Amino acid sequence: MYHIAILKGDGIGPEIVTAAMTVLDKAAKKFDFQLTYHEAAFGGAGYDKYGSPYPDETRQIVENCQAVLLGAVGGPQYDLLPREFRPESGLLAIRKELGLYCNIRSIKYYDFLANQVVWKEGFLNGVDIIIYRELTGGAYFGEKKRENDWAYDTIYYTKTEIERIVRQAFATASNRPRKLLHSIDKANVMESSRLWREVVENVAKDFPQVHVEHLYVDNAAMQLIVNPQQFDVIVTENMFGDILSDEAAALGGSLGMMASASLGGKISLYEPAHGSAPDIAGKDKANPIATILSAAMLLRFSFQEEAAAQAIEQAVTTILTEGYRTADIADDGMKSIGCMQMAQLIADRL
């Protein structure tokens, strides 16, 4: 029996998570395992119900589960709250408390979504990138302060924090055909980046089979657009990873397609890389695929249900190949459907 904490959150969060649960339920039946869901309030919904984006009631539920499936947090009604009450603070708190330093986001180019990307035909063929984003350090968690006329955030990293994420990225790169790792920093300007680069060079000695390239983040941002095929595995600090992963999502056709896993502690967390899209919330318009693919990663990494994970990934490809599309990836002549129908069809193809 697998116990999963369900934190639907805000905006489109409830619909995309409900959609993913439909697929998970079908996978459980088909592959013969049992899932128990433990739903709890989180983000803006946590604030509304308990006055905190990560309420103690929710924390207790999470700590008694083996994995967390999260939707999205945030919305305009929370934008003016003090920092500790904002939905995003709940997200940072759960990542930090569970020790989820290793965030994995993967981008694959599907040729049947060619019309969704702004690149010339054929340009993205074979693009298959995994981003390792450090998730519990850097500017997100360093000392910060705001006064009337000034404000600062601090990017602080220890060698240990850098080394553990870099090792994970090397390990993954060494298991991929190209064995290529791009480490992205701003070592021409930032001390934390110079330390980062030093640690990467040191860890590289343990992975002689992996070819390492260092790129400055500004150049990396451009290279992702002009020559995305050169990338295999990318490793970078928290904020660079946040920015570059949204950019890289465009290569896959839509942010609505990018799943993510956050690992490193006892309990892992899985969430789509996109936000809560309040403008389309409750309209059954959201693309549930990023969440469904995150649920596949949950089965793979938290429960070693590799066959079920692969079956879900395959079903997503099948449905897209058959021409079904949510609004974000809609295209002339395709079968336009809503969030729940997309989930149902993917479940049916399992």
CB nearer Mg ion, residue 53 or residue 338: 53
- The one catalytic residue among 26, 242, 270, 328: 242
CB nearer Mg ion, residue 70 or residue 308: 70
The nearest distance, CB 74 to ligand IPM, in angstroms, is 6
Residues linked to residue 212 through DSSP beta bridges, in sequence order: 181
Q: Which tokens belong to 230?
A: 């050169």
273 interacts with ligand IPM by CB under 6 A: yes
Residues linked to residue 152 through DSSP beta bridges, in sequence order: 145
Give the total of residues touching ligand IPM (CB under 6 A).
6
The residue from 5, 23, 45, 91 that contacts ligand IPM (CB under 6 A) is 91
Question: Computed from CA positions of residues 26, 69, 8, 259, in that sequence, does the dihedral angle turn out positive or negative?
Answer: negative
Q: Which residues contact 169 (CB under 8 A, 6 or more apart)?
A: 132, 181, 183, 233, 234, 235
* Core vs surface per residue 251-288: b (16+ CB within 10 A) or e: bbbbbbbbbbbbbbbebbbbbbbbbbbbebbeebbbbb
Catalytic residue check, 246 = yes
- The one catalytic residue among 128, 153, 246, 284: 246
CB nearer ligand IPM, residue 74 or residue 256: 74
- Touching ligand IPM, residues 127-156 (CB under 6 A): none
The nearest distance, CB 13 to Mg ion, in angstroms, is 15
237 interacts with ligand IPM by CB under 6 A: no
Q: Which tokens belong to 289?
A: 């695929």
> What is the Cα–Cα distance from 286 to 340, expressed in whole angstroms?
9
The residue from 242, 264, 270, 286 that contacts ligand IPM (CB under 6 A) is 242
242 interacts with Mg ion by CB under 5 A: yes
Q: Where are the beta strands (DSSP E) in 73-154?
A: 102-108, 128-134, 144-146, 151-153
CB nearer Mg ion, residue 269 or residue 309: 269
Cβ distance 186 to 217 under 8 Å? yes
- The one catalytic residue among 54, 186, 232, 328: 186
Phi, psi (degrees; rounded to nearest 5) at 77: -70, -15
The residue from 39, 57, 88, 284 that contacts ligand IPM (CB under 6 A) is 88
134 interacts with Mg ion by CB under 5 A: no
The site for ligand IPM (CB under 6 A) is made up of 74, 88, 91, 242, 273, 275
Would you please indicate which residues are annotated as catalytic (active-site) residues?
140, 186, 218, 242, 246
